[in-house]
Structures are given as C-alpha cells and as structure tokens.
Structure 1
Amino acid sequence: MEGESNSGARSALLTKSESGKRGRFARRNSVNSLRNDFMLRLPDKVRAGLDSESPYDIDVSKTKGLTSGVKEYYKTQFETLKAFEEVDAIDPSESTDCEDDEYEDEEQIQNERAMMVSNYANVILLAFKLYATIRSGSIAIAASTLDSLLDLMAGGILWFTHMSMKSTNIYKYPIGKLRIQPVGIVIFAAVMATLGFQVLIQAVQQLIANEPSEKMSSEELLWLYTIMLTATFVKLALWLYCRTSSNKIVQAYAEDHYFDVVTNVVGLLAAVLGDKYYWWLDPAGAVVLAIYTITNWSGTVMENAASLVGQAAPPEFLQKLTYLAIRHPRVERIDTVRAYTFGVLYFVEVDIELPEDLPLKEAHHIGETLQIKIEKLEEVERAFVHLDFECEHKPEHSVLIRLPNTKD
C-alpha cells in the first residue's frame, strides 16, 4: 500500500522487513549494523573528513574533490544515522514526568523573563525614539520610531498568545492550545509587514514632493547619535539574549530585535547622510527599510501559515520514524508512516502489521508502547498507531477534497 511517507519511509528497511525473519532483520538493521556497512563503503575522500573521536561528525571542508551536492549527501547520511541512535536510546517504560515538569517550568520562567525584559525595553526605547524623531524631523528615524510603537502592540499580541497557551480548558480545547502560538506570530508578522507598506508609501510621497527637510543643529545630531546608538546596542543585547531560546514566541521577539538593529543602523545612516549631503538619502533609506520589513515579515507569515495547514514533515524525519517503528518488537511490516504539522509540532500517524493470531492484550501493549516512544521525540506533539494484520487494503483515510458544508 502506498502511504504519504513512502517516498522517504519505504526504503531498504521496509523491503527487508518483508522477509518475515524478525530477529535477524532487527540485528541486521540496527544502527550499529547500518553504520558499519555505511562506513565500509565510504570513499577515501570522505574518510578524510571524519572526526576520529565521534563516528557521526564529518568536516566537509576537509573532503577534497567532492562537489557541494555530494558533501551535503554524506553529511545528511551521518545525521540520519545519529538520529537512529537517538531513537534506539528511547525507553518507553521510563517515567520522567516530574523531571520534565521541573525542566519545563524552569524553561518557561526563562522565556517569560525574556518576554518581559523585551516589553519593558520597547517602552523605554519608544520614548527615546519619539524625542529623536521630534528633534530631527527625519522620516527614516520616524520609520524606526513607528516600528518601536508597533513593537509594543506586537509584543502585547505575543504575550497574550503565551498566556492563552498556559490557561487551557481541556473540555473546550481537548488537545491544548499550542496552535495559538503560530496564529499569534502570523498576526504579529502581518502587523509588521503592514507597517513597512505604510512607511514605503510615506517615503515615496516625500521623494515625489521633492521637498528637502531642514538641517539639524549640532545639538540635535548629538541627541540623535546618543538615542539611536543606545537603542541599537540595547536591541542587539536583547537579540543575543532571546535567540538562544527554543520557544517560538521568544524567537519571534529575537527576530524583531534583530530587525530593529538593522532599522536603527540604516535609519541613523540615512538621517545623517541626508542631513549632511543629499536630502533624498533620508527617504531613500526609509524605502529600503520598508522593503526589508515587507519581505522579512511576509516570509514569516507564509512560514507559520504553512505550519497550520498541515505541511508534510521532511523525508529525514519520516526515515527516523520508520526506523523507530520497524525496530519495535513484533512489528512485521509498516503500511504507512505519515507526519504533518498541526501548529508548532508534528502529528504522526503510523500503520503497522502485527501477526494475525496475536492476542488483543499483547497487540494493544505493542501499539501503546510504540505510541509512547514516538511521542517522546521532541518534534512530536501527538502520535496515532493503527494496528492491522495485513497491508494489502486501501488507505483507512481518504484526503478530504470537498469544501465544508456551509448550510445551516
């Protein structure tokens, strides 16, 4: 049967599984066996880049005479073998709920601290930028100030998103509210892209009007340098602080901080150069900032919107799931391995074949332990395991292609 993951999942592992000799298959296709076979076939050019202390680390810069595509291929193979080894280390009987809860609580505190620091910094910087805009009259600085104003609004959206995820009514939202996270980021990014479009229109209008702004005094320039450089260094520090988090909302803050560093530097250069040399450099800098804003945040909108639609996981992750499933006890064949985004993490569906005469109690235990192992992967939110005694039937689920019924 053809599954949605068959392009990556039905590899050599699956064809060998059809031999029916489960024990010998498992030994032959363990990660150690796969790695040994792979290492024996490595060209000498590739061996030169291997790390003697780590069997999975390869320095492609040391591999001579290989094209970039070939280097990327071998790098991917080693990463796949490393993922297989991580899968083998998963123990479904291990109960680490208390440790996981403590780690998640500590991580959540750090994430909330990063958000609060970012919000307070945005308030302070907005006040300083408003003063710099009034004193300088620069449209590029005004664009940077408008960006800071929307930072507060967008930060409020992200904070509300985070707090909504924390308070979940399991009767109203049975599987939680993780999907609020990409929704909040989409709204945040859409607001920022809209800002860029507004600034673009204003800058183009000033260029068309051909009206130079007044020159700034030395005192105004001093205030401009002080405020914009301070804002730049603060945003740079916040970017370095937030970028280490794995939380998507904090990463959105980090991306915004990095964007602010760029807009502050470009805005300052455009304002100073426009004041000293050619007045049109100021609105021209604002146009550059606007285009960068629209491009950058539109990409973020598309990326997060795709994660809500149900985009398929990459082949490498499907291979990882396939290896995990086919190595599970008593699994004879794999019908389908499917993984797709449903927000931040993946939903996984696995259809496996078990012996026809297997007792229900034992079959249930096999399916349940496989589900637990899959859900222990950090990329997975929820896994569904379907048990069957053969793989020759049609798919259990068809793809819904009709529009929902809108009749009352």
Structure 2
Amino acid sequence: MVFFREFCSPIKNQRRGYAIQRYHKYLHYLEEQHIADKKLLEQQEGLGDRGDSDRRQIHDKWLAWSSLAVNIIMMIAKIVASYLSHSLSIISALVDSVMDILNGAAVYLCIRVIQKTNPYEYPVGRKRLEPVSILIVSVIMVMTNLMVILETVMSVLNKTSFCSRIIVVFQVDPHVTVVVASVMCTGTLAKFVLLLFCWKYDSPNSRLLALDQRNDIMTNIVALGAAYIGEKWWLYADPLGGSLVCLYIVMSYIKSAQTQIPLLIGKGAKPEFISRLAKIAIDHDPRIKSVETLTVYHLGANYLVELHVILSANMLLQEAHDISESLQLKLEKLPYVERAFVHCDYSNEKLEHLTRFR
C-alpha cells in the first residue's frame, strides 16, 4: 500500500500542476476579455445605440446580394459543365448551387424583414428570425443532399445509369474538358473571395454564408477531382465523389442546425461570459455595492441580460434611476447583447420572482 502511494504521488502532483496551469490560463483569458470589453465600450461611446448593428445589417445585405449573384452565374455555368461532362460529381455540385440560391435568398429575405420590422407589432424586434432561417435552410439542404446520395447509389446499382426525375437520364461516363475545368476553377476562386469577406464581417448571417462558401469550395474541388479520376482511371470514382460531396454538405448543415436550436430555446451563457458582464456592472459606478443576480441567456443569436444590483437604501430615486439606466445602455451597446434589464434593490433577502421555472 505504501509503495502504491509513493508510485501515484508524482502522478497526482503532475495532475495538480496541470490544473493550476489551466486555472492561471483561465484567469489570463478573463483579464484579456475584460480589457477587450473596456476598449469596445470606449469605441461605442461615440456611436448611436444601433450604429454597429445597422452597419452589420448593411454588410450582411451586401454579402447576401453578392452571394446570390455569384450562385446564379455558377448555377448556369454548372448546368453547361454537367451536360458536357456527364459527371455525377459535378451534378451533385450543381444541385448544391441550386440550393445555395435558396440559401442566399432566405438570408436576404430575413435581413429585409428584420430591417422593416414594425416596432409596435414586434416591440423587441425580429432578430430571432436569423436562427430560424438558418434552421430552415439547414433542413432543406440536408433533405436535398440525402436525395442526391440516394440517386447516386441507385445509379451504381443500375450499372451506372443515372435515373433522376429532375436531371436528364444519361450513362455515367465523365469527361473533364477544358471548359468544365475552367468553370469549376473559376467558381472556386469566386467563392474563396466571398469567403474572405464573410470572415471579415462576422455575424450570424455572414457565418451562414461563410458555411455556404466553404462548402462550395470543398464540393468544387472534390467534384472536379472525382470526375477526372473517373475519366482517367476508375469509373466509379465519379459517383463516389458525388456521394462524398453530398455527405459533407449534410454533415455541415446538421452541425449548423444543432448550434441554432439552443439559441432559440434560451440557452444560458457560459460562466466566463457572465463574469465579464459582472465586471462591467461592478466597475460602472462606485455606488453599486454588489451584484445580486445576473441572468444571461440567448434571445436568438445575441443575449438577453437580467441584472439586479444593490444600492444604498437611502439613495434618492433620481440617483438610482440614473445609475441603472446608464448601466443598461452600456450593456446594450455591447454587440453580443440584444437587450438588458437592470433592477435596483437595497437588499438581497427577498425573492425576485414567484417561480423560476414554469
């Protein structure tokens, strides 16, 4: 027993050392986030309440229009490439381009509806349409690509006869000509440029468009490579490449849908994010004694913040109002906060709500 303890002691000390290192890294990360939040609030002082949000919507609208235009051009070009190549992989990429048009149209329609919101009909806006539109597009993309995978498998079982009801029936015999290669390479380059812009303007809609561009880049490369291998060496590489293209798209959009569902049902924020907001509240005014409760949860892509602060019981109503209102406006200037509610109290001995869950 003594030998066992002596043997395990260095292992326990090593694990304890790793835990201490992780703890210090976590503290360093929080400190960096606090500094970033402070700089962000200083930059937001000169902007209006919706200045940053309006700019993001303008960027999203421009990206949606650009993506839609490129997708329409690429769809027409891929129709020609599919006819010339007789390649199942390129046909799969064509189906992806058709669905991309629906994707871009849905994003543009969502942005337009949000901008045209009537504040009397929707007092808190319609920003939750963003995750809803992403979820709908993801479901449509998954179902469509599963159908293409089924058609590809059937074409192999039917001795390479493609029997889709949508696309003209022909024998699978891929031919990669200069025109076909030029179409696929040009489309890949255009999608890469759009991907860079989507990464630059980070928002829920631009992230959806970035996923679209990334998928197109991957599908174009795989489709062209599979068609070339199918022509030169192994015929079944072409339908296999088409299945891989569709399977990759299915997995990408399933993952995208999984990330949006918690945003719609009100998932809570991570502890480190709550700590950042608590730091902002404590540093806001020296007359704030403490933070009683801080509840942060998703209201669509951004967060809703419910904050209860403790003030002096003898403080004037005007002072308490000025402190709470200025803190509320400061929190709502953060780009990841949709709305904030600040409640003032003089003690933390009473329940704020009758029931927590209903």
Match of 2:30 among 64, 71, 80: 80
Give, in angstroms, the shift of residue 267 of structure 1: 0.9
- Which is worse superposed, 336-345 or 356-365? 356-365
Match of 1:351 among 286, 292, 308: 308
Aligned residues: 333
Q: After the TM superposition, which residues 238-257 of structure 1 pair with which residues of structure 2 at under 5 Å, given as runs?
A: 238-257=194-213
Change (3 A) 1:284 1:91: closer
Q: Structure 2: which amino acid aligns with 1:274?
A: G
- Is the 8 Å Cα contact of residues 106 and 133 (structure 2) preserved in structure 1? yes
Give, in angstroms, the shift of residue 362 of structure 1: 2.0
Alignment correspondent of 2:259: 303
Give, in angstroms, the shift of residue 359 of structure 1: 2.4
> Alpha-carbon deviations, 1:29-85, whole Å to 9, x = none?
xxxxxxxxxxxxxxxxxxxxxxxxxxxxxxxxxxxxx98876654443223113333
Alignment correspondent of 1:177: 126
In the alignment, structure 1 segments of 5+ residues that lack a partner are 1-65, 402-408
Match of 2:288 among 331, 340, 365: 331
Q: After the TM superposition, which residues 387-406 of structure 1 pair with which residues of structure 2 at under 5 Å, given as runs?
A: 387-396=344-353, 398-401=355-358
Match of 1:136 among 67, 85, 99: 85
Alignment correspondent of 2:318: 361
- Is the 8 Å Cα contact of residues 354 and 388 (structure 1) preserved in structure 2? yes
Change (3 A) 1:69 1:167: farther
- Is the 8 Å Cα contact of residues 340 and 347 (structure 1) preserved in structure 2? yes
Alignment correspondent of 1:121: 70
Change (3 A) 1:72 1:192: farther
Percent identity of the aligned residues? 28
Alignment correspondent of 1:223: 179
- Is the 8 Å Cα contact of residues 158 and 188 (structure 1) preserved in structure 2? no
> Alpha-carbon deviations, 1:258-278, whole Å to 9, x = none?
100101111111111122222
- Is the 8 Å Cα contact of residues 329 and 366 (structure 1) preserved in structure 2? no
Q: Structure 2: which amino acid aligns with 1:146?
A: V
- Is the 8 Å Cα contact of residues 130 and 301 (structure 2) preserved in structure 1? yes
Distance 1:233 1:284 in 2: 24
Alignment correspondent of 1:45: none
Provide the TM-score with structure 2 as the length reference.
0.84
Change (3 A) 1:117 1:156: same
Distance 1:390 1:154 in 2: 51
Change (3 A) 1:71 1:203: farther
Distance 1:89 1:286 in 2: 48
- Is the 8 Å Cα contact of residues 154 and 191 (structure 1) preserved in structure 2? no
Give, in angstroms, the shift of residue 377 of structure 1: 2.1
| 3-state SS of 2:339 partner | strand
Q: After the TM superposition, which residues 29-48 of structure 1 pair with which residues of structure 2 at under 5 Å, given as runs?
A: none
Alignment correspondent of 1:386: 343
| 3-state SS of 1:190 partner | helix
Q: After the TM superposition, which residues 44-123 of structure 1 pair with which residues of structure 2 at under 5 Å, given as runs?
A: 73-87=23-37, 96-98=46-48, 101=51, 107-123=56-72
Give, in angstroms, the shift of residue 305 of structure 1: 1.8
Q: Structure 2: which amino acid aligns with 1:287?
A: S
Distance 1:276 1:77 in 2: 57
> Alpha-carbon deviations, 1:106-165, whole Å to 9, x = none?
554443322222111111110010011112221111110000011111111111001111
| 3-state SS of 1:351 partner | strand
Provide the TM-score with structure 1 as the length reference.
0.75
In the alignment, structure 2 segments of 5+ residues that lack a partner are 1-15, 162-170
Distance 1:172 1:216 in 2: 55
Alignment correspondent of 1:204: 153
The yes-or-no answer on 1:149 pairing with 2:98 is yes
Aligned-pair RMSD on alpha carbons?
Answer: 2.6
